[in-house]
Structure 1
Amino acid sequence: MIKPRYRIYSKHLQEKFQQRVYKLSINLPGTCPNRDGTVGVGGCIFCDEEGSGFEGLSNSLSIGEQIKENKEFFKKRFGVTKFIAYFQSFTNTYLPLEEFKKNMLEATLDEDVIGISISTRPDCIHDSYLDFLKELKEEKNININIELGLQTVNYHTLKRINRGHTLAEFIDAILRIRARGFESVAHIILNLPGDTMDDVIENAKIISSLGVDYVKLHSLYIVKDTKLGNMYENGELSLISLDEYIERVITFIEYLDPEIIIQRLLGKGPQKTLLFCNWDTSWWKIKDRIELELFQRDTYQGKKFDYLNGKALKAKLVK
């Protein structure tokens, strides 16, 4: 068995909580400001009507019902007894504040829930929501982290994919999250059309310099009846190869702060509506290839993490 060359999320959770912990996806009906006209319409060019909640239970079920049904499955299958409630779909902090409070409080009512993970956009982080979460954390003694869909630090690409925000909003959100002692997660897509290896490296550098705690890598998937899907079907997209994606992941890992936890190396999409996903290869096979490449090259997370704290001065200071 190959020894991991990067910080793996499951191992981190085991060490942090002294037991196995699973994330339970919670799927709520909702929208985002990039759909309803607040910052844009139509959403990101890759996003379908389900948002990112395709892996969760029906949003017609209450939060309590989703937690109960999900946790019983994982208890029976893996013997896990403690969980993180993961508010995954759409932009959860875009809900009205009182509704947001109600949802978070409902998730904490289950005694097996020891953490909350909240997925949102960088431009939907506000002091009033964070202040409530700080109070909740202290009152319930519960772990809270906030996941931000950045996708890329290249603000030209962000504009092309109709993201509705730029890099500045992400930086502001991370600073506000860190100021209140919450953990942060950055979502990055390493094969967005137009992004190059320079963007891959800058993704790792920006995330590292901001002190982000976790990163979640995605491989771009393309869904029917989206703007990106239409571009793909019309032959208007140029996608990188699987070999190039693996090269980008390895480079990203090399430049990433070795303290940051990598939650995953690629993602999955909604099977029924996919036009393209992971080069028609099982995600675990790609994961295995990445880990084998890291081993064979004798490289690892943080190997090139030498660019902070006055890189240009370091040579002089050691003389």
Structure 2
Amino acid sequence: MPAKSRYNIYSEHLIKKFGQKVYKLPINLPGTCPNRDGTVGRGGCIFCDEQGAGFDALPNTLSVTEQLRRNRDYFHRRFGAEKFIAYFQAFTNTYLPPDVFAANIRATAAGKDIVGISVSTRPDCINEDYLDILTEVQVEKGLDINIELGLQTVNYHTLIKINRGHTLAEFIDAVLRAHRREFEICAHLILNLPWDNMSDVIENAKILSALQVRYVKLHSLYIVRGTKLGEMYERGEFDVISMEEYVRRIITFLEYLDPEVVIQRLVGKGPQNEVLFCNWDASWWKIKTELERLLKQEDTWQGKKFNYLNGSALKWSRR
């Protein structure tokens, strides 16, 4: 068990990696998603509203340089921040012409206080052309670059139900391609999707561990009015698990997860307006506090049950 914490905390990881606190600067690019424009589907994921995941970001009408400047100034004033990771957050950031994508990445990399770039995208929107661009920038600027992939669940039946537009195979392919370039992966998961159970939670942890994913972001499901999921919720077509069950799912997920995986987030949050359900009307801090209380009370930790890889049934051959 780790000496200081019962799970691998992102902020502590960044301090070890860069020698000081590092803050993420969100970047909001204009764009869309292949699951909206008809390439792989229409309407998007059933939980996704028109803002995508970028409801906390600055308007995408601002240039990348201007967004970085404003966010940098804010974090510097409030926290005294000096080093930053530029985070391409909303929608599918590689769903752009390669030259446009390259221009945005290079404009970001020009900042002297930028130590890393994080690109959020879909598993089916990563190919060698975009990885070439990221590789060139990484070599030229010496930046730490990672790719955030929205998976949500390894249950491919649930992926179809939520109209994700891809299944598990595309995620595996994207991870393997990125790893060949030595890019680290951050996987996004929703542990309380209505069609998943505890077996799916465990399998999430096992597959991410087997694929040697470096980072994980957990998002508790929020439901927005006007989305297909919102309409289903209002018609009473599914129930959301309790907060107690969600915390139990996080604990189980952590127990089966490789202890080397870094946890970037345990609980998500939804937009301010038109939310039908979000975090059981509790603050994310309350959920996190309850999780940490139970981890200590039950004397458990990340990786406690990480014992299933490397021919785990061949115990007789080990010394």
**TM-score interval, normalised by the smaller of the two chains:** over 0.9
Amino acid at match of 2:110: L
Deviations 1:99-158 (A, max 9, x none): 000000011121111110000000001001001111110001111000000000000000
Please list every run of at least 4 consecutive aligned residues from structure 1 whose deviation after the TM superposition is greater than 2 angstroms. Answer: none
Q: For 1:288 and 1:12, locate their aligned partners in 2 and report how far apart those are by CA, in whole Å.
A: 20
Residue aligning to 1:202: 203
Deviations 1:56-114 (A, max 9, x none): 01111110111100011111111110100000000001111110000000111211111
Amino acid at match of 2:317: L
TM-score by length of 1: 0.98
Q: Is the 8 A contact 1:204 1:253 kept in 2?
A: yes
CA RMSD across the alignment: 1.0
Matched, 1:58 2:59: yes
SS in 2 for 1:248: helix
Task: Give unpaired runs (5+ residues) of structure 1.
Answer: none
Q: For 1:56 and 1:112, locate their aligned partners in 2 and report how far apart those are by CA, in whole Å.
A: 20
SS in 1 for 2:118: strand
Matched, 1:223 2:238: no
SS in 2 for 1:208: helix
1:110-129 paired onto structure 2 within 5 Å: 110-129=111-130
Amino acid at match of 1:97: P
Q: For 1:309 and 1:160, locate their aligned partners in 2 and report how far apart those are by CA, in whole Å.
A: 33
Q: For 1:253 and 1:216, locate their aligned partners in 2 and report how far apart those are by CA, in whole Å.
A: 12
Work out the percentage of aligned pairs sharing the same amino acid: 66
Q: Is the 8 A contact 2:259 2:303 kept in 1?
A: yes
Q: Is the 8 A contact 1:93 1:124 kept in 2?
A: yes
Q: For 1:274 and 1:47, locate their aligned partners in 2 and report how far apart those are by CA, in whole Å.
A: 12
Matched, 1:150 2:151: yes
Q: For 2:126 and 2:220, locate their aligned partners in 1 and report how far apart those are by CA, in whole Å.
A: 25
Q: For 1:65 and 1:89, locate their aligned partners in 2 and report how far apart those are by CA, in whole Å.
A: 17
Residue aligning to 1:298: 299
Residue aligning to 1:24: 25
Deviations 1:272-307 (A, max 9, x none): 121100000000010010011101100000000000
Q: For 2:136 and 2:72, locate their aligned partners in 1 and report how far apart those are by CA, in whole Å.
A: 26
Residue aligning to 2:184: 183
SS in 1 for 2:94: helix
Amino acid at match of 1:109: A
Residue aligning to 1:244: 245
SS in 2 for 1:93: coil
Residue aligning to 2:96: 95
Residue aligning to 2:317: 317
Deviates more, 1:254-263 or 1:127-136: 127-136
Q: For 2:4 and 2:282, locate their aligned partners in 1 and report how far apart those are by CA, in whole Å.
A: 23
TM-score by length of 2: 0.98
Residue aligning to 1:274: 275
User: Offset of 1:4 from its aligned partner?
Assistant: 2.1
User: Offset of 1:11 from its aligned partner?
Assistant: 0.5
Amino acid at match of 2:61: S
User: Offset of 1:241 from its aligned partner?
Assistant: 0.6
User: Offset of 1:3 from its aligned partner?
Assistant: 4.6
Q: For 1:4 and 1:66, locate their aligned partners in 2 and report how far apart those are by CA, in whole Å.
A: 34
User: Offset of 1:183 from its aligned partner?
Assistant: 0.8
Q: For 2:287 and 2:114, locate their aligned partners in 1 and report how far apart those are by CA, in whole Å.
A: 32
Q: For 1:115 and 1:93, locate their aligned partners in 2 and report how far apart those are by CA, in whole Å.
A: 17
Q: Is the 8 A contact 2:29 2:90 kept in 1?
A: yes
User: Offset of 1:318 from its aligned partner?
Assistant: 3.3
1:165-176 paired onto structure 2 within 5 Å: 165-176=166-177
Amino acid at match of 1:126: N
Residue aligning to 1:71: 72
Q: For 2:8 and 2:282, locate their aligned partners in 1 and report how far apart those are by CA, in whole Å.
A: 24
Deviates more, 1:247-256 or 1:270-279: 270-279
Task: Give unpaired runs (5+ residues) of structure 2.
Answer: none
Q: For 2:270 and 2:16, locate their aligned partners in 1 and report how far apart those are by CA, in whole Å.
A: 30
Matched, 1:262 2:263: yes
Q: Is the 8 A contact 2:109 2:137 kept in 1?
A: no
Amino acid at match of 1:183: E
SS in 1 for 2:313: helix
Q: For 1:166 and 1:109, locate their aligned partners in 2 and report how far apart those are by CA, in whole Å.
A: 36
Amino acid at match of 1:317: S
Q: For 2:97 and 2:280, locate their aligned partners in 1 and report how far apart those are by CA, in whole Å.
A: 39
Residue aligning to 1:162: 163
Q: Is the 8 A contact 2:219 2:267 kept in 1?
A: yes
Q: For 1:318 and 1:75, locate their aligned partners in 2 and report how far apart those are by CA, in whole Å.
A: 52
Q: Is the 8 A contact 1:33 1:39 kept in 2?
A: yes
SS in 2 for 1:311: coil
Aligned length: 317
Q: For 1:208 and 1:149, locate their aligned partners in 2 and report how far apart those are by CA, in whole Å.
A: 16
Q: Is the 8 A contact 1:4 1:291 kept in 2?
A: no
